[in-house]
Amino acid sequence: MATAVRLTTPAAIVPAQTALLGIGPFGRRVTGLLARMTDGTEVPPDDAPETVFAGTPSALVVALWRPSPALCDRIDERAHATGVPWLPVVLEPSHLRIGPLVVPGAGPCHGCFEERRAQHDPHWPASAALYAAYDRNPACGPAGFLPQHARTAAGLALRVLARPDATAGRVISVSLRGVSVRQDPVLACHGCSRCGRPLPERDLRTLLRLKKREDAGVR
């Protein structure tokens, strides 16, 4: 059962102080467009994820040419350690994914997004095998993208950064084969070590007392 999380209004994100990390041709194209639109700083793609938070940017945009769960987990861990918001922009096999914008302390983390994706993917075993192959081999993945895909991704990323209060914890998906666009909220997972809210101690004690009463046959 998901933990209810209230999204508080995050601090304003200053586009000109945003770090931009692009991986692969698609990712670099997206960050190049964002750099021109925002004056944000492009980070060399071979930098370790931990170094992109140097200087405490206003936010970090990570644009990827295909899913990279292990890389995103490392970035998410560092983002929560530093308090820096970050936004993944990913060219998925069938759609563009912008989000979720992760604002540490104000909503679900990227790990919860991954858990929810696994929960709702009817073909998860195949998807998990594909993502594992991507994590093992940095060169593995489909090549090529259309220019409008990069422009669309950059434009939507800029929109998300401009309104973090309305877009944090949400995923925008744009079909690559049509014009359909959808936006879905991400619910934090109960017990998540990064963003989950545990039950108050007194509630846990109450539950334990009820369990003892049931075991004793007391109604």
Indicate the pLDDT class of residue 191, thresholds 50, 70 and 90: confident
Residue ranges per structural domain of the chain = 15-215
Please name every residue paired with 168 in a beta bridge, in sequence order, or none if there are none: 101
Q: Say which CATH architecture domain 15-215 belongs to.
A: 3-Layer(aba) Sandwich (3.40)
As a whole number, mean pLDDT of residues 90-106 equals 93
As a whole-number percent, the residues of the chain with pLDDT over 70 amount to: 82
pLDDT of residue 5: 39
pLDDT tens column, 23-77: 999 999 999 999 999 888 898 877 677 788 887 899 999 999 999 999 999 999 9
φ and ψ of 102, to 5 deg: -95, 120
In 3D, which of 189, 175, 27 has the Cα closest to residue 108? 189
Task: List CB contacts of 99: < 8 A, sequence separation 6 or more.
Answer: 87, 88, 160, 167, 170, 171, 172
**Reduced to 3 DSSP states, what percent helix, strand and coil does the chain have, rounded to the nearest 5?**
45, 20, 35
Q: How sure is the predictor about 7, in pLDDT bands with cuts at 50, 70 and 90?
A: very low
Q: What is the pLDDT of residues 115-150, one digit of tens each?
A: 999 999 899 899 999 999 999 998 998 888 999 999
